[in-house]
Amino acid sequence: MADQHGSPGKTTLAPGVLLTIASLSATKVEGVRRLAPVPGGVDRLFRRGAEDGVQIMVEDGIVYVDLYLVLKKDVNVRVVSRNVQEHVTRAISEMVGMEVGHVNIHVEDIDYKADE
Pairwise CA distance, residues 18 & 25, whole Å: 11
The pLDDT, as a whole number, for residue 13 is 85
The predicted model scores a pTM of 0.82
- Per CATH, which fold does 15-111 belong to? Alpha-Beta Plaits (3.30.70)
Q: Is it the case that residue 69 has pLDDT exceeding 90?
A: yes
Interstrand relation of 32-35 and 99-111 (parallel, antiparallel or unpaired):
unpaired
**Average per-residue pLDDT for the chain:** 86
Query: Quick one: three-class SS letters along 49-72?
Result: CHHHCEEEEEECCEEEEEEEEEEE
Confidence of residue 4 (pLDDT cuts 50, 70, 90): low
Q: Is it the case that residue 51 has pLDDT exceeding 80?
A: no
- Secondary structure letter of residue 116 according to DSSP: -
Q: Domain ranges in the chain? A: 15-111
